[in-house]
Amino acid sequence: MASKPSTPQQQKLLAVLIDADNASAAMVEGLFEEIAKFGVASVKRIYGDWTQPNLGKWKQVLLDHSIQPIQQFAYTRGKNATDSALIIDAMDLLYTRRFDGFCLVSSDSDFTRLAARLREEGLTVYGFGEEKTPAPFVSACDKFIYTEILRADAAQAADEPAGNGDKGKTTAGSVPAEPAKSAAKKKPQKVPVDFIAKIIDDVNDEDGWVELGMLGQSIGKLRPAFDARLYGFKKLSDLIKGQAKRFELQVRGSSATGGEALYVRNRKAGR
């Protein structure tokens, strides 16, 4: 019998589990756009006590994005039964062995152990929560995205005028920085250049260069919540280009892809 053809670039299957008590309906548009970068949202569930009026804003969002609401009554005041229901479902989904990763959407530190347990099984865990999310939960995820970024991105996309497709294009070989327009009023954080410089020193080759993708992976391992958008840039390459006094960039041809790849190294004093 002929074997099933392989699909080397097949997207990862993800289970998206949302804690309605600790997530805002306003960020859902940006949430699923972000999740699409990592894989396919094969399961989309949201947990809460839907008899409560405070969750009323979710109704239209659930319909628009085909999210399955899971009803969980609050049996005892002060006890969060929603968290328990989400955790039980996550473990059930884990043991089906059908998923490559989980997206946990909450700012609640109660999911720290769940994230760690999923990673113990070799699955990738993407966390999504507000900047108030406790550090243990952030660190327990492979990647953590602050939802304030997603809301800002969504607002920017809505406000961006049409016919702007050529903006930001450059001639071949040029690598100018392209700061992101901040739709939120919050001031961007200061770029952690010393931290980035140390990572470059740790993973560079004998000439001091490191491929940008490898740099990003190394940064993410130490700081899961690192995101160029926090510092006012669309992506890591733009952030690096914006720090020309500290870093050098070089464009090289890639034998693996046939395209171009960016390499970065620390700029030496006086160079």
Which of 131-135, 239-243, 257-261 is predicted least confidently? 257-261
pLDDT reading at 165 higher than 50? no
Name the helix (H) or strand (E) containing 129: strand 124-129
DSSP per residue, 132-189 = TS-HHHHHHSSEEEEHHHHHHHHHHHHHSPSS-TTTT---TT-----BPP-SSSSPPP
As a whole number of angstroms, the distance between CA 48 and CA 21 comes to 6
For residue 86, what pLDDT is reported?
A: 95
For residue 202, what pLDDT is reported?
A: 95
pLDDT reading at 151 higher than 90? no
As a whole number of angstroms, the distance between CA 262 and CA 211 comes to 6
Tell me the mean pLDDT in the region 132-152. 93
Residue 259 pLDDT class (50, 70, 90 cuts): confident
Name the helix (H) or strand (E) containing 43: strand 40-48
Residue pLDDT, tens place only, 8-67 = 457 899 999 999 989 999 999 999 999 999 999 999 999 998 988 888 889 889 999 999
Q: Where are the alpha helices (DSSP H) in the chain?
A: 28-35, 58-65, 81-94, 112-120, 135-140, 147-159, 193-203, 212-222, 236-241
Set out the domains of the chain in order of their start, with CATH numbers: 13-154 (3.40.50.1010), 179-266 (3.30.420.610)
DSSP SS3 for 3: coil
For residue 254, what pLDDT is reported?
A: 65
Residue pLDDT, tens place only, 201-218 = 999 999 999 999 999 999
Strand partners, 128: 105, 145
Residue 2 pLDDT class (50, 70, 90 cuts): very low
Residue pLDDT, tens place only, 61-96 = 999 999 999 998 875 554 477 899 999 999 999 999
Looking at per-residue pLDDT, the higher value among 180 and 13 belongs to 13
| Mean model confidence pLDDT for the chain | 84
pLDDT reading at 171 higher than 80? no
For residue 6, what pLDDT is reported?
A: 38
pLDDT reading at 232 higher than 80? yes
For residue 185, what pLDDT is reported?
A: 55
pLDDT reading at 3 higher than 60? no
As a whole number of angstroms, the distance between CA 101 and CA 126 comes to 8
Residue 154 pLDDT class (50, 70, 90 cuts): low
Residue 257 pLDDT class (50, 70, 90 cuts): low
